[in-house]
Structure 1
Amino acid sequence: MKYLINKYPIFIFGIAALFLTGCNILKPKIDRTLSPPENGRTVKITVDVPNIAELSPMKVMYRSNLCRKTYNNNEVPTYTVSGFNSEMVLLEKEGHSSLYSAEIPYRGGGKCDWQLSNITLRMTLKINDHFSKDITGVVGTGVIIIFDNNQPQRVGKKTINKKDDFYIIADYFPWIDIPFKNDKNISLWLYGEELYLYYKSRDAQQITWKPIIHPNIVVYSEYPAERKTEGVSTIYSYPDGTKSSNRDGKPDYKKLLSLIK
C-alpha cells in the first residue's frame, strides 16, 4: 500500500534496527515520520530490468543529526551516531518498457529533519529451465549510491565519485555453483565485477542503472570433493570449454568479458 504526502510517495517502512550487544539505545524513541517539503529537491532512480532478471525493492536510508542514537557498554565510553531511518521502495514500471523507476526526496523532513544518505539496488536472475531445474537458491548483485558522508550499511571496496546525472552500465553473467561434490544445494548467481558497485553523488537528479546480462555466457563451478580438503580447489568451467581452478572463491571476470561477441 502506498501513501502520498506532499506529492511524494512514502512507503511502508522496513526500519533498520542496528543493535549492539549490551548497548542501550537513546530514549525517547526517535520519530521516524517522513514529511518531505513540497517542491523539494528529488532524485529519480531508474533501472533497466532485463526479462531474465528480477529487481528487488530499493532500500532507501535517511540519516539525522538532530535525532541521534546513543550507545553505551562496558568496553567503550558512551558515544552517539546520526540517527537512521530506512524504507523499502518498490520501483514502478514505466509503461510497456523495461524501465522501473522511483523519485526520492533528498530531504525527508519530519521532526528529525531526515536527509537522504544512501540507496541500495539489488537484482537477481529468475530461476527457470534456461539454467537448471535443480537450482535451490539465487544470489543477487547490486549498486549502492551514497549521497552524504556516512558509511552505508554494507561496506565494500572503492567508491566512484560522480557529478551531475549519470548512468551505471556493467556486464553480468550467470554463475551456477555447486559448493561440494554431490551437494544438492545449487546456487544461481548474477555475477559481476563486484558483488556491489559503489558510487557517490552530491547533486544528481537522475541516476540510471543498466545491467547488461549475457545469458548464454554461463560459468559453472564445483568443488571436486565432498568436504573441504587440503590442496583441493574449486574448478570453474567456461562456455568456451576451458577450465581453471583457483582459491579466490569466484570466477575470472576478465575471462568472461573476453567471451562476449
Structure 2
Amino acid sequence: MIKTMPIAALILFVSLSGCTNDRSLAPPADSEQMTITVKVPKELETETLEVMYRSAVCKYITHGASGQRVELEGYHGINVQLQRQGQSDLYQARLPMDGGGACQWHLSNVRFGVAYRNPARFGENVTYGAGGGVVVMFDHNRPSLSSGLPIKVDGDLTIRKDYYPWLSEAFIEGYRKQISLAGEGNIYLMYQALKARQVYFEPVLHSDFLVKSEGTKVHKIGSFIKFSYPDGSTVADGHYQPDFRKLQAIRKAAESKK
C-alpha cells in the first residue's frame, strides 16, 4: 500500500497479503535522520519522493517458479512531498532511518527527481516524458523497477548533473509529443550509499540547447528515430535517446566561442 502524506504523519497502518499484525511505522524520537535536498531550476519542479522501508522481522511471502515458499524482507512504501526552504530554490525532506514499530522498519531506498513545471510552453498538447530521476539505496535490497548496477559511494552523496531539454514526437500506436530531460544514463541515476545521512541533488538545466527527435511512422528495417541537435546536425543511427556526449560537446564548443 502506498500513501501520500506529509513527513509529520509517518505513523500509519499497513497490512501485506495474509498478515494481520500491526505493521505501523513508529519512528523513535531519537532516530537518525536522512536529509534529502534538491536544488530546483526555475523551469522545473520536484517530483514526489517515493520512500521504501524494509523489515527483516515482518516477512513478505511469495512463491518461486516451482511453487516453493520464498520469504523476503517485508516492505512499506510511502510518498512524501519535498518542502521548499523559505524563498530559496532548495526543496527538502527529512526521513527517519529507523522506522520503528513492531516490524523494526529501516530506511531502504528513495526515488525522486525533477520534471518540467509547464510542458505546454513547448507546444499544444505537449506532456512531460521522463528523465531527471534519482534512486538511492541505503541497504543491499534492490529497488523495484531498477536496472543496471548502482554507483557505490562512501559517506554522504552529492549529485550534480547536466540535463538538456528533449522534445520528442512519436507516431506509432498513437501520436505523442513529449518534453523530457536528456541526461547521463537512463531515466534514473542509481546510487548505493550505505553510510549516507545527507543526499544532495543539483540538476543543471541547459535550456538553450534543445534536442528534438522524430519517431518513425512505420515499422521497417532501417527506419530509425531522427535526432536534430542544437548545432543543426541530424542523426538517425538506431539509438532511442539523444547522444549525451554530443550534447555536452556542442554546448562546450558554443560556450568557448563566447
TM-score (normalizing by structure 1): 0.86
Matching residue within 44, 50, 66 for 1:53? 44
Matched residue, 1:20: none
**Unpaired segments ≥5 residues, structure 1:** 18-24
**Unpaired segments ≥5 residues, structure 2:** none
User: More deviation in 57-66 or 29-38?
Assistant: 29-38
Q: What percent of counterpart residues are identical?
A: 30
Shift of 1:73: 6.7
Matching residue within 210, 215, 224 for 2:207? 215
Amino acid at match of 2:40: V
Taking structure 1 as reference, are residues 201 and 125 closer, same or farther at Cα in structure 2, changes over 3 Å only? same
User: Do residues 121 (structure 1) and 120 (structure 2) align?
Assistant: no
CA RMSD, 1 decimal: 2.4
Partners of 2:143 and 2:74 in 1: how far apart?
13
Amino acid at match of 1:241: G
How do 1:95-174 and structure 2 match up within 5 A?
95-128=86-119, 130-174=121-165
Matching residue within 176, 180, 184 for 2:167? 176
DSSP 3-state at the match of 2:202: strand
Amino acid at match of 2:93: A
User: Do residues 198 (structure 1) and 190 (structure 2) align?
Assistant: yes
Partners of 1:136 and 1:45 in 2: how far apart?
27
CA contact (8 A) 1:14 1:88 kept: no
DSSP 3-state at the match of 2:8: strand
Matched residue, 1:188: 179
Shift of 1:99: 0.3
TM-score (normalizing by structure 2): 0.87
CA contact (8 A) 1:14 1:86 kept: no
Partners of 1:126 and 1:258 in 2: how far apart?
27
Partners of 1:235 and 1:16 in 2: how far apart?
48
Matched residue, 1:226: 217
Matched residue, 2:61: 70
Shift of 1:166: 2.5
Shift of 1:165: 1.9
Amino acid at match of 2:8: P
Shift of 1:74: 7.2
DSSP 3-state at the match of 2:129: strand
DSSP 3-state at the match of 2:93: strand
Shift of 1:213: 0.8
CA contact (8 A) 1:12 1:87 kept: no
Amino acid at match of 2:235: S
1:157-204 superposed Cα distances (whole Å, 9 cap, x missing partner) = 2311112223100011111111138x6410111111121111111222
Partners of 1:117 and 1:49 in 2: how far apart?
25
- Structure with greater proportional helix content: 2
Amino acid at match of 1:200: Q
Taking structure 1 as reference, are residues 128 and 68 closer, same or farther at Cα in structure 2, changes over 3 Å only? closer
In the alignment of these two chains, the number of paired residues is 247
CA contact (8 A) 1:68 1:80 kept: yes
CA contact (8 A) 1:13 1:88 kept: no
Taking structure 1 as reference, are residues 97 and 243 closer, same or farther at Cα in structure 2, changes over 3 Å only? same
